[in-house]
Every structure is written in structure tokens, then in C-alpha cells.
Structure 1
Amino acid sequence: MKTKEKILNAALQLYNEQGIRSVTTRHIAASIGLSGGNLHYHFKHTEDIIRALFNELASAYDDLMLNAQQASINLATIDALAAISFQLVNKYRFIFINFVEIANWIPEIKASYGQLIQKREQQFVSFFDALAQHGIFRDDIPTSNKLGLVKQFFIISDFWLSHNELTRQYRGEDALNDYKKTINLLLWPYIKRFE
């Protein structure tokens, strides 16, 4: 594994365990036996590390959306996509727990997030259209409602973890099941009912 990857893996683990304000670049370097100078050769500032981790997360969601467009169109696919989304939320949990603070602290992340939303709106609307063409989604849903549904998806995936931490504090399978149930309840009004 390359040094840069080791730094990012160590940072991810430490941020997830201790939070972004408790972990310094010295902590990250020490956790993998690097000198501070060696770490700063790869990442000049803490913001650079967080930006790189955010970019990893965005790339993983890009892959998820690409797979969604290529997968079989059925309810099992939606369930599988929700499970993968949950894994990403859990893997990069520090970003989701601290997202507003991170976005205000690092303006490039805030700008990138705005661009991601526009891209995801198109991807999700195309996916919803495919679900309607396959008889899974109702075909009478206006585009404005589809865009509203995308917004709701973002609210859930971006802030479910914070809500969970403040309320139920589910872990493991319980957390996964609650996340998927929340997604399924969001989709329920749009699913075509078969008599």
C-alpha cells in the first residue's frame, strides 16, 4: 500500500473514532509510524486529507450510481443499492456526522457538494424513469415530484447517521435495517400497486 493510502486509511479510522477536532496530523502520522514531515509531504494541511476522503466518498457514490444504471431494474436492486449506500455512510461516518461543519470549513467541499447534487438529480430521475418503464414506479409522477424525492434521498443519506446517533443509536444489522426501512418508506408512495 502506498504511503498516501496509508495516511488516508489511518485518518479515516481516527476521524471516525475520535472526530475531526480531536485528531491532528501528528496523531495520524504517529498511528502509522510516519514522521510529521513525511505526512506533510503528501498532505500539507488537515483540510487536504479531509478533501481527499470526501473525494473518495464522492467517487464511491459515482460507482454506485453507475452500477444502478447498469443493474436489473427491480425492487431487489433498490434494496441492494440502499445497503451499499448504508455501507458508504458507515465507512465515512465522520463526514456525515460533521458534514455542515466540514462544508463551512472547506469551501471546495461545499462547492463540490452543490455540483454533486445537480449530477445526482439527473441520475436519479433517469433511474426513476427506468423504474416506471419497468412497471415498478407509478408513471404519473411529475418531474418536480421526482426532484423532490431526490432531495429527500439526500436528506436521508446525508443526515440519517446524525439522527440515529441522537436517537436510537442502532448498530450493525439494526442500523442497516433501519436505514433501508427509511428508504423503503420514502419510496412507498411511488411504487406501483398491483391489484
Structure 2
Amino acid sequence: MKKKDTKTRIRTEALKQLNESGVEQVTIRSIADALAMSPGNLTYHYKNTDFIIYELYLDLVHAIDETIFELNNRPLDLHLLYDQLVRNQGKMFAYRFVLLEFATIARRVESVKHHYRHLIRSRQEQFKMFLHVLIMEGYLKKEVSDSTQLEMIFQSLIFSNAWLPDAYIHFDQPDERVIPFYARLQMSMMLPYLTDKGRSQYGEIMEKHYDGNFSGYPE
């Protein structure tokens, strides 16, 4: 088997274990045993689990990059923004250990922390461009200042990091079915800044994807 195929198998098994058990419980031995490999053979490909975690983190970043690329290459409106938001949250759920333990991972794996700090600067510029397009297309108010736009961007970035840990607190056995709940909340942060045209399209999204008014966490 080619080295690339072996590394893919290792990452696939590691992702499964990390999602199920968390970063503190997964070891080179636990991954190797599941793949019927010797630990020594596995460390030929990855020196330790931190290297695997870093590559899985990059896999998630690249998956989200693909969605952002689509936003750059299609006419942007709130429907597309909502659809891509749901897709991204689905990708985050597939790599849920990253979000569930991001602070721990960033403290443990320096390369993740440094990469993420650089990534945020890039995301800030990308999201600023999306807001500019929404203003030009008449979905957001032209009066929204640069400072307010920046606040909106950081609110969205912080929400993106926090929604999944929140789901694991408030939902029993959370799965992808929690995504519409959090997608709705993230979209609602735009409400104060929408024009009449934007509010009309926001209403279409709510009517299409939701049964009624927001009622908070399930009982």
C-alpha cells in the first residue's frame, strides 16, 4: 500500500477515535491497534498524535475553504449564505473534536494556534468582502460602518467556534440535526442590519427551513 494511502487510513481512524473519545484518550497505540499496525510503523508516518491532530485541523480548514471559494464564484444573497453556513457547520460536525477541544488543542499544538491566528486575518478580509457585496446588492444597510462590520465579522467567527460545544451541553446525543438550530441563530445576528430587501429574503429562509418562532433550547 502506498504511503499516501496509509496516511489517509491513519487520519481516518484517528478522526473517528478523536471524535468519540477526545484528544486526551487517543494515542498512537490506540490508532495502531485499530489498524492492525505496529506503533513503530505508525510513527514512521506521524511522529506523534499532535502531528495527526494538526493535519486533521488543516483538513477541516481546507474543507471550509472550498465553501468560501464557492461564495466567491456565485452571485451572493442570503439564501446562498444560509446554505453555505449549514454546509460549513456540517463539515465542522464531521471534525467535531477540533471545535469541542479547540482551546486545549491550541495550547497543546503550537502549530495549530499560530496557523489559526494567521487564518483569522485571512477570514476577516474574506468576510469583509462578503459584507461589501451584500451592501452593494441591497441586502445590508449602506449605513453599516466599518467598525460595525468588523464587530459582525468577529461575532460570527466566535460563534463558529462556540456553537458545537454549546450543543453538547444542551442537546442529548447531539448530531447533525442540531445544525439548523445554530444556523438560525448565526443568521439572526444580521437582522439589525438588513434592509427591507434583506428582511424579505430572511423571511423566505425562515419560512422554508423553520416551522415557527424561535423557542430556545428543547425541553
Q: TM-score range by the shorter chain?
A: over 0.9
Aligned twin of 1:158: 161
Aligned twin of 1:75: 78
CA RMSD of aligned residues (A): 1.6
Aligned twin of 1:14: 17
Aligned twin of 1:46: 49
Once residues 79 and 174 of structure 2 are traced to their aligned partners in structure 1, the CA distance between those partners, rounded to angstroms, is 23
Match status 1:5 vs 2:40: no
What stretches of structure 2 of length at least 5 have no aligned partner? 201-219
Once residues 189 and 175 of structure 1 are traced to their aligned partners in structure 2, the CA distance between those partners, rounded to angstroms, is 24
Once residues 110 and 139 of structure 1 are traced to their aligned partners in structure 2, the CA distance between those partners, rounded to angstroms, is 35
Deviation track 1:107-139 (CA, whole Å, cap 9, x = no partner) reads 111111110110000000001101111111211
Once residues 132 and 72 of structure 1 are traced to their aligned partners in structure 2, the CA distance between those partners, rounded to angstroms, is 13
Match status 1:105 vs 2:81: no
How far does residue 98 in structure 1 lie from its aligned partner after superposition? 0.4
- How many pairs align? 195
Aligned twin of 1:183: 186
How far does residue 170 in structure 1 lie from its aligned partner after superposition? 6.8
What stretches of structure 1 of length at least 5 have no aligned partner? none
Once residues 43 and 176 of structure 2 are traced to their aligned partners in structure 1, the CA distance between those partners, rounded to angstroms, is 38
TM-score by length of 1: 0.94
AA of the residue aligned to 2:69: L
Provide the secondary structure at the position in 2 that maps to 1:59.
helix
Q: 1:30-179 to 2 correspondence within 5 Å?
A: 30-169=33-172, 171-172=174-175, 174-179=177-182
Once residues 113 and 146 of structure 2 are traced to their aligned partners in structure 1, the CA distance between those partners, rounded to angstroms, is 26
Contact 1:12 1:53 in 2 (8 A): yes
Once residues 51 and 120 of structure 2 are traced to their aligned partners in structure 1, the CA distance between those partners, rounded to angstroms, is 22
Larger radius of gyration: 2
AA of the residue aligned to 1:51: Y
Deviation track 1:14-34 (CA, whole Å, cap 9, x = no partner) reads 000111111111111111222
Once residues 84 and 16 of structure 1 are traced to their aligned partners in structure 2, the CA distance between those partners, rounded to angstroms, is 19
How far does residue 172 in structure 1 lie from its aligned partner after superposition? 4.0
